[in-house]
Structure 1
Amino acid sequence: MARLSWFPIAFFLVLALSCAIDVMAGGEGSLRHEQCGAACDYRCSETSHKNPCIEFCSMCCQKCLCVPSGTYGHKEECPCYDNWKTKEGGPKCP
């Protein structure tokens, strides 16, 4: 019977954690145009190629209104950002 009493608590914690992850990650269209600069500054903060990174990140953010969390990876959070490719087929957005 004790196991059943933990179920509502565990369910609430899982629900709260999933909501927190959604808020942190943002998602497609979660930014406003004026927020792109700060999001791209952070996204490109650890690269040695800051100017091109910020330029392409800003272009992608203006189109998609989303920048993936972190400084690398996590592109699945923003499908538009992830799917935009160069003429050669490589990723357009850093």
Structure 2
Amino acid sequence: MPDITPAELKQRQQAGEKPTIIDVRENWEHEEARIDGSQNIPLGSLPEKVDELEDLKDQEVIVHCKSGGRSASAKAFLAQRGFSNVRNLVGGMTAYQQQ
């Protein structure tokens, strides 16, 4: 699945969409700044929490971190676990905040 740009995500949010967004940054990073409606699951906790996300395997899931590196790893991990529609937020939270 192709990644998603901050502009596309913001446009969809402004249109009233509520996509599933998983923030794979650390808890303290999520507390400092977050995307409305995002769920915080730090990358290191993802393997133990993946079973809780089972219902999302066939739905669009957007993952993000600060700049895109950790979320790229999360996207690859989820894809290996059978998630078929995972998209990484290009540029992460840094790019999202600049939109």
Normalization by structure 2: what TM-score? Answer: 0.28
Point out the structure with max Rg over C-alpha.
1
Higher relative contact order at CA 8 Å, sep ≥6: structure 1 or structure 2?
2
Flag the structure with higher strand content: 2
Flag the structure with higher helix content: 1
Normalization by structure 1: what TM-score? Answer: 0.28
